[in-house]
Chains A and B, each alone.
Chain A
Amino acid sequence: MNGRFGLRAALTAVVAVTLAGLVTGCGGGGDASGPTTIRFVWWGNEDRAKVTKAAVDLFMKDNPGITVQTEYAAYDAYFQKLSTQVAGGASPDLIQLDRATLGEYQHRHVLEDLSPYMGKAVDVTGIAPALLAGGKIEGKQYAVPGGQTTQMLAYDAGVFTKAGVAPPSGPGKTWTWAQFGEGLRKVAATGVAGTTDFGWAIDWFEVWLHQHGKQLYTDDGKLGFTAADLTQFWTLTGDLRAAKAVTAPEVTTKMDGSMPNSGLVTKRAGSEINYDSSLSAYLSSYGPGIQAAPLPTDGTASGMAAMPPVTFAVAQRSAHKEAAAKLLSFLVNNPEAGKLLGVARGLPPNTAIREQVCGAAQAATKAVCDYEKSVADRIGPATGLWPTGSAAVKRDFQRVYDDVIFGRTGVADGAARAVQTAQQSLGS
């Protein structure tokens, strides 16, 4: 040590530099695109990645002038990275989005209006109009559905049989919420929770709202439910939680729809509500015992809806929009690509390819096709896009539910807070 002045000066200098680094944060990435290299990004598991890469390889073989770089990640990580890349000027060219994020990115002028590409680079003639509407905002096509999905209860048939519970299967079969709860309690008696606590996702609450003739969001983008509705829903799951018929808070808090965090896949629950586009992922992560059943309902309305699990959009700042649009169209319409992709993003969006894929279906693909067929007459049309701010609403919904399941807030108070923060998010 050099005495007081030397040390003080050194310390002051270090402090100054450290503090200065704080407010500057980190810079953006570089620009990686060459003349005809495009980047295509999505979220999903290994299975989805494998088939998607195979389809992309096929595309590159058909289009020797275009090189496609691919990236994928889990849902949360994907969107964290995507927003950073887009903000830093290193946006991917073809982007996978979903109901909660499509409006968000369109509103912020990140996405290219695909209407001028229709009939040229992009062909959507094979997609049913109701499904195609899932990519439309204010009459303009900003994204194209990458598949069709609907809600399901994935369950381990062995666990349910052992508990003496027979879930409904086949066309027209269904169960009431009371029967469902009764079944979950019976499963719980065998030592595993009946199902993953389904109060965490606003998606499953949406189904429950539809069953009661209500909506998550009104057509003009406002909140379509009240704190009383949410209190009723969370009381339903709360009663089941008290009986250990649904997973414990430590498991529920990790839910994000992904397989590694799934209560069912980690064998802490005998079943789990999800979209049927995940059914093949359940089958490969869990094993062949998984089957799909429709969600319970007390009335005639199933509340379930057919919608795109993911959509593909082209970035407005892409230097190669034409090439990106071409890849998009290829993924959706090419029969060979369709065969490779199978049901990795739900049923193929193109009706002709769907028939082809389901006609030759085996194993996981067959399970998805069979399930969709069994509920086909009961699922409503697509419920449309979620408004801007809905990504925050979805996130806050889960955060407040965390407080509820860990006993940090009462159900009614939590519901009131969820409604209040949701209204703020939608207003901003």
Chain B
Amino acid sequence: MTQAVLDRPVAPERAVPRRRRAGQGTGYLFLSPWLLGVLVLTIGPMIASLYLSFTDYDLFDAPRWVGLDNYATMFTRDDRFWHAAGVTARYVGLSVPLKLGLALAVAMLLNRARRGAGLYRSAFYAPSLLGASVSLALVWRAMFSTGGTADRVLAAFGLDTGGWVDQPQFALLAVIALAVWQFGAPMVIFLAGLKQIPKELYEAAELDGAGALRRFRSVTLPMLSPVLLFNLVLETIHAFQSFTGAFVVSSGRGGPSDSTLLYTLYLYQRGFTDFRMGFASAMAWVLLVVIGVLTALLFRGSRRWVFYAGESR
């Protein structure tokens, strides 16, 4: 069975010198800029945001305590909230598997490439470096709008779909395509993971008569599973938080016809165009809880399929 193949010797643990109290003090001293940053820029605003989520706050006047009103409105009286949640679910459900699949496929190709590997790696990683930039999303909008490049190319092949970003049934796909295209970060991590898999495992599997598909399923995937989990969790969290692509492609509106109204975009609209900052804060906390729960579920489920080296089952 595969288990026998996968067991490999574990590197002997290095002796860790016992820490001394004085050393801890120095450690904290060196950490202090970061700790200060966390307190002032993260913990502080988080507490403020939690407080604001129970208030009616229009950005300009003092916040007014309303208790759970924001949460109640969100769940019972706000159709657009549920609509945005649905759009986000579709976005995450499609973009994450596609992105990870593409990242893994390209990583495997690059893992084999000998000549020009560095060039290819940079070329595939480049879109991720540009990822957060607004200009990229602007280019995307120009390409996929009516009369844009994508529109004309498709029309040349007889696929007259019109501009993707101008039609409710396609607009979200254009935003997803933008996200999937930026697969560089998970790809690089996959590549590092692939490099770690001992060649002997493949050789042994080949001797046992395993074909390419079988080797992928029985050697690559199990050996890569911790990296896969890492990428899956991170990309899921990132996907829930995506904003720039949809914001730019729809000029901040989430249109056409609310088809690209991601949760974060609606949150932004409520906060900064409707001046309902308390409501927006409540939305942020709901998103935090949802992502937290989903991440916990991913970790729990991972026990069944993630294999850590040195583990015996």
Contact = CB atoms under 8 A, between A and B. Distances in A.
A421 B310 CA distance: 60
B243 to A, nearest CB: 11
B274 interface: yes
A394 to B, nearest CB: 11
Contacts of B288: 19, 22-23
B274 to A, nearest CB: 6
Contacts of A61: none
Given A23-B46, A250-B163, A11 B230 contact: yes
B45 A7 contact: no
A392 to B, nearest CB: 6
B272 A402 contact: no
B146 A108 contact: no
A253 B272 contact: no
A15 B237 contact: yes
Nearest to A12: B299
Contact of B46 (A24, A249, A251, A253): A24
Contacts of A95: none
Given A4-B308, A7-B226, A24 B45 contact: yes
Q: Decide if the interface of chain B is mainly helix, strand, loop or mixed.
A: helix
A3 B10 contact: yes
B196 A14 contact: no
Point out which of B58, B168, B193 has the most chain A C-beta atoms below 10 A from its C-beta: B168
A114 to B, nearest CB: 18
Contacts of A86: 59-60
A3 B233 contact: no
Nearest to B247: A80
A104 B288 CA distance: 31
A162 interface: no
A72 B162 CA distance: 32
A79 B251 CA distance: 12
Contacts of B222: none
Contacts of A14: 234
A135 B53 CA distance: 34
A1 interface: yes
A173 interface: no
B285 interface: yes
A20 B60 contact: no
Contact of A108 (B59, B166, B258, B285): B59
A253 B256 contact: yes
Interface in A241-271: 249-251, 253-254, 256, 266
B295 interface: yes
B292 interface: yes
B167 interface: yes
Contacts of A109: 60-61
B291 interface: yes
A348 B10 CA distance: 82
Interface string B35-74: 0001001110110011000000011110000000000000
B41 A24 contact: yes
A110 interface: yes
A268 B288 CA distance: 44
A3 B308 contact: yes
A24 B273 contact: no
Contacts of B310: 3-4
Which of A1, A4, A77, A109 is most buried by chain B, counting CB atoms within 10 A of its CB? Answer: A1
Interface in A97-151: 104, 108-110
B237 A251 contact: no
A419 B308 CA distance: 59
A19 B292 contact: yes
B162 A250 contact: yes
Nearest to B192: A1
A1 B42 contact: no
B146 A250 contact: yes
B257 interface: yes
B257 A403 contact: yes
Top 10 nearest A-B pairs (CB, nearest first) are A24-B45, A250-B166, A4-B308, A87-B59, A253-B256, A402-B257, A108-B60, A23-B284, A20-B42, A406-B257
Given A108-B59, A108-B275, 17 more contacts: A3-B10, A3-B309, A19-B288, A22-B241, A22-B288, A23-B50, A23-B281, A27-B41, A79-B273, A83-B272, A87-B59, A109-B61, A250-B256, A399-B253, A402-B257, A406-B168, A406-B256
18 contacts: A4-B310, A7-B226, A11-B233, A15-B295, A20-B42, A22-B241, A22-B287, A23-B49, A23-B288, A77-B252, A80-B252, A80-B272, A83-B273, A86-B59, A108-B59, A250-B166, A392-B274, A403-B258
